[in-house]
A and B are shown apart, each in its own frame.
Chain A
Amino acid sequence: MLTYEFLQNYWWFLIALLGGLLVALMFVQGGNLHLGNRALSETQKRMILNSTGRKWELTFTTLVTFGGAFFASFPLFYSTSFGGAYWVWILLLITFVFQAVAYEFQNKKGNLLGVKAFRVALMVNGLLAPFLVGTAVGTFFTGSDFTVNKVAITDPSAPIISTWGNNWHGLEALGQYHAVLLGCTVMLLAAILGALYILNNVDDEGIQAQMRRSIKITIGPFLLFFLCWTAILLVKQGYAVSPDGVVSLEPFKYLHNLLAMPAVLVMLLVGVVLILYSLYLGAFSKSRKGIWFAMPGTVLVVMSIFFLAGFNGTAYYPSCTDLQSSLYLDNSRSSYFTLKVMSCVSLLIPFVVAYIAYAWHQMDKKKITAEEIEGTSHKY
């Protein structure tokens, strides 16, 4: 049963799951965008800060694990993308690095930069991190400018196997409107997730009114960007891989993928419906439970996007410079042994999810209130 192909597909499934969780957990980034809302008092901003501040490490860790999973299961992607799209990853890294210290430092005396600078850092992270992650995933469908030559490692004069084709090193993706559309979609989705999360987690009517207002404002652009990106995806040509490993351009490839994998189609539709329902709950009802529909919806949609990119004979990291350098599951995977051992370890994931859920539940049983923020010394 544990064939090489099964294991590679299983790991692509796990990477898709991690990608989905990462985007869903970006409610932290989206939530921090509200720190700039002038209608909120300082205490209310501290409530938001402490609400997202109790979860930021989960998002951060999911990002690290997402990268680590790629590194271990598809090392050729990790080396090609990280070493090639250098500036994109460095930019993403810097926003996360500032985020990591901003929580702890901003309200401490002696922090040199003052509260505002760290809040700006959190908001920059809130805008850029989802945008860059979305744009980077967008290049799974537009292609990137790189070549791969595994034989190069035998040449002492030029031993690097993955070479990027331009000096922009990934920033050129900002000129690919389809990838940018996905970046904007993820950024707006993070903002919505953040508002839904705060709506649920913080007991303050003023904040709740602001969150609902924010969701109402964001719905339109979010749906517009998402629908545009999806429509273009379904009509554009994609990067198909033949059984003997030859990569070619195929019209309507991603539409074909969707039709060839009805389960993915169902996942996508269910995910979209869940997100739409959460938007309704957040913007037009009195319910505060929208986040519990938005997060699973996000996970399902992101997973289906990864499945469209990697399954059904598709190159998930295509090269527009040299089609045959494109990366697909078979040519970029780890060894059978590594995938098998990691698969055994992955059986622990339900246990990890269970303790995270338990700890989360314990911490969030009591919602965050102004009294708590003004009364306790254990706060950001």
Chain B
Amino acid sequence: MDVVVWSRIQFAMTAAYHWLFVPLTLGLAVVMAVMETLYVVKKDEFWKKAAQFWIKIFAINFAVGIATGIILEFEFGTNWSNYSWFVGDMFGAPLAIEGILAFFMEATFFAVMFFGWNKVSPKFHLASTWLTGIGATISAAFWEVITNPVAVSKFCHSVTSGWVTGGIFVVGVSAWYLLKKRHVEFAKKSMLIGAIVGLVGSGAVMLSGDASGVHAAEFQPMKLAAAEGLRDGGNGAAFTIVPGIQVPHMLSLLATHDWNGYVPGINDILNGYTDNDGNVIPSVEEKMYMGRTALDALAVYRTTDDPALKAEAKALLEANVQYMGYGHLSRPEDVVPPVGIVFWAFRLMIGLGMLIALVLLLCLYALWKDKLGKWNWLLWAAIICIPLVYICGQSGWVVAEVGRQPWTIQGLLPVNVAISSLSAGAVKTTFFLFLGIFALFLAIEIRIMIRAIGKGPDVEPQNS
């Protein structure tokens, strides 16, 4: 395998691993902040102890999330140097805001939240807990801003999926306590808050997912076509639930918010089509020609001292720059991502997301009707949903990142041009190095977390 493939594998592994920790951080941040707010408002020690328990779990998870976050930032430079040079200028401003506002907020108030119980006032501590969560949430945007052209909807989608993760995690752990008949009051109250946070997250995930779909249709139509396995598109396109089962017109409705909207398929994008606004989109072969023209013009513009030639090159570059990245492709089929992976990852994400939302809803119902003691199957389902929510989140990233191939920046910079000047051996070495470190950290984190959960909160007698 060449350096491009190793760089992609390494980055994919780092991002996937990072995303094991970030969503739980985002979700637990809300749960523990709500609990501490209840403590400050009601002045009930129970909520303080409950918040402290979830903060302890948060802290175990938080450290690894930070560690993997810095690896991601460094890898943009170490393994994707051309990309860094290309985008530093574009993403500088949002990153400056994020660095100044979010990173330091998170770093400063985490210490107060964790160590400050006996050092600062309850209100200052509560503010610190909320600010840690807000800082962590905005920090998650780094990854969004830097990898997505439609950052806002993606940001909301990822953050609220973190609420689902945190919510179901709390519900699942509480279910385990209920099955064991330990910390019953704590478990029921935690489950209530976890289920509400998770359900709010689920609703927001659906809304932001819908916005992401519309954006994908506009800016990344190939990703949408791959996610749907849509070879040939058209007006009133059907949504495929699984191969052989379709909902007529649904894809058009979701992608364009129009019952009969036009959705291009993979072949349409390869061969060229006319979009819903009447714009003629050239075929990939034509885009490759225009891309090559743009690259040649850029070369002339950068090297010539002749003002006339420079002006001519500039005009040519401006006319073709939106397809510049296509000039680096060797054949039109290069723009098609691995369809099978994207198609099934999309279905896995949606299917698991709906299942988890259903379990959360049932947990709320069972709490309301006081059925939890009789519905052990639901408690088991909630526990099983903990690993499932991670599979769901990872599937979402597979859709987003595999679906965008071959582009690091849509239409401008394909992955094979975005890399650093390194040997495959060097990247292979760091890949296995990181793999070993990640595996070790994951094993340690899971062990420590299981022990902390096994020990339980310090809120009440164990058999109450």
**A-B contact sample (5 more), CB < 8 A, given A78-B77, A80-B85, A156-B327:** A57-B106, A89-B78, A96-B67, A167-B423, A362-B116
**Does A65 touch B at the CB level, under 8 Å?**
yes
**Does B5 touch A at the CB level, under 8 Å?**
no
**Does A46 touch B at the CB level, under 8 Å?**
no
What is the minimal beta-carbon distance from B432 to any residue of chain A, in angstroms?
A: 12
Residue of B73, B74, B84, B426 near A75 (CB, 8 A) is: B84
| A 99-113 contacts with B by CB, 8 A | 100-101, 103-105, 108-113
B88 partner residues in chain A, CB cutoff 8 A: 71-76, 78-79, 334
Whether A72 lies near B110 (C-beta < 8 A) is: no
Alpha-carbon distance A366/B97, docked complex (angstroms): 33
Q: Interface 1/0s, chain A 290-321, versus B by CB < 8 A? A: 00000000000000000000000000000000
A376 partner residues in chain B, CB cutoff 8 A: 117-118
What is the minimal beta-carbon distance from A108 to any residue of chain B, in angstroms?
A: 5
| A 327-343 contacts with B by CB, 8 A | 334-335, 338-339, 341-342
A72 partner residues in chain B, CB cutoff 8 A: 88, 91-93, 95-96
Whether B89 lies near A161 (C-beta < 8 A) is: no
Whether A363 lies near B82 (C-beta < 8 A) is: no
Whether B119 lies near A64 (C-beta < 8 A) is: no
**Does B420 touch A at the CB level, under 8 Å?**
yes
Alpha-carbon distance A155/B210, docked complex (angstroms): 39
Whether A112 lies near B440 (C-beta < 8 A) is: yes
Whether A65 lies near B328 (C-beta < 8 A) is: no
What is the minimal beta-carbon distance from B293 to any residue of chain A, in angstroms?
A: 11
Max chain B CB contacts within 10 Å: which of A50, A58, A83, A376? Answer: A83
A80 partner residues in chain B, CB cutoff 8 A: 81, 85
Whether B77 lies near A67 (C-beta < 8 A) is: yes
**Does B352 touch A at the CB level, under 8 Å?**
no
Whether B447 lies near A61 (C-beta < 8 A) is: no
Whether B108 lies near A83 (C-beta < 8 A) is: no
CB-nearest residue of chain B to A105: B444
What is the minimal beta-carbon distance from A292 to any residue of chain B, in angstroms?
A: 19
What are 14 sample pairs from A and B whose C-beta atoms fall under 8 A apart?
A55-B111, A61-B104, A63-B70, A67-B74, A76-B85, A84-B420, A94-B437, A97-B67, A97-B71, A101-B441, A112-B444, A112-B447, A151-B303, A154-B295
Chain B interface size, under 10 / 10 to 19 / 20 to 34 / 35 or more: 35 or more
Residue of B90, B99, B420, B444 near A83 (CB, 8 A) is: B420
Q: Interface 1/0s, chain B 137-167, versus A by CB < 8 A? A: 0000000000000000000000000000000
Whether B81 lies near A79 (C-beta < 8 A) is: yes
Whether B109 lies near A359 (C-beta < 8 A) is: yes
Q: Interface 1/0s, chain B 421-454, versus A by CB < 8 A? A: 1110010001001000100110111011011100
Q: Interface 1/0s, chain A 82-94, versus B by CB < 8 A? A: 1110110110011
Whether B92 lies near A81 (C-beta < 8 A) is: no
Whether B92 lies near A65 (C-beta < 8 A) is: no
Residue of B71, B100, B423 near A352 (CB, 8 A) is: B100
Provided the pairs A104-B63, A156-B327, A342-B92 are in contact, do residues A356 and B108 lie with their beta carbons within 8 angstroms?
Answer: yes
B52 partner residues in chain A, CB cutoff 8 A: 378
Whether A110 lies near B451 (C-beta < 8 A) is: yes
| A 25-73 contacts with B by CB, 8 A | 50, 54-55, 57-58, 60-61, 63-65, 67-69, 71-73
Whether B116 lies near A363 (C-beta < 8 A) is: yes
CB-nearest residue of chain B to A93: B74
Alpha-carbon distance A380/B266, docked complex (angstroms): 54
Q: Interface 1/0s, chain B 329-351, versus A by CB < 8 A? A: 01000000000000000000000
Max chain A CB contacts within 10 Å: which of B70, B83, B86? Answer: B70
**Does B38 touch A at the CB level, under 8 Å?**
no
A98 partner residues in chain B, CB cutoff 8 A: 67, 437
Provided the pairs A67-B74, A82-B78 are in contact, do residues A365 and B119 lie with their beta carbons within 8 angstroms?
Answer: yes
Whether A111 lies near B447 (C-beta < 8 A) is: yes
| A 186-240 contacts with B by CB, 8 A | none
Max chain A CB contacts within 10 Å: which of B71, B99, B419? Answer: B99
Whether B63 lies near A65 (C-beta < 8 A) is: no
**Does A260 touch B at the CB level, under 8 Å?**
no
**Does B286 touch A at the CB level, under 8 Å?**
no
**Does B12 touch A at the CB level, under 8 Å?**
no
Q: Interface 1/0s, chain B 116-132, versus A by CB < 8 A? A: 11111000100010000
Residue of A76, A97, A112, A345 near B443 (CB, 8 A) is: A112
Whether A160 lies near B70 (C-beta < 8 A) is: no
**Does A379 touch B at the CB level, under 8 Å?**
yes
Whether A65 lies near B78 (C-beta < 8 A) is: no
**Does B239 touch A at the CB level, under 8 Å?**
no
Residue of A96, A160, A338 near B82 (CB, 8 A) is: A160
**Does A1 touch B at the CB level, under 8 Å?**
no
Provided the pairs A334-B92, A352-B100 are in contact, do residues A86 and B78 lie with their beta carbons within 8 angstroms?
Answer: yes
What is the minimal beta-carbon distance from B331 to any residue of chain A, in angstroms?
A: 12
**Does A169 touch B at the CB level, under 8 Å?**
yes
Alpha-carbon distance A167/B424, docked complex (angstroms): 12
**Does B101 touch A at the CB level, under 8 Å?**
yes
Residue of B71, B91, B109 near A93 (CB, 8 A) is: B71
What is the minimal beta-carbon distance from A28 to any residue of chain B, in angstroms?
A: 12
**Does B207 touch A at the CB level, under 8 Å?**
no
Whether A100 lies near B77 (C-beta < 8 A) is: no
Whether B84 lies near A68 (C-beta < 8 A) is: no
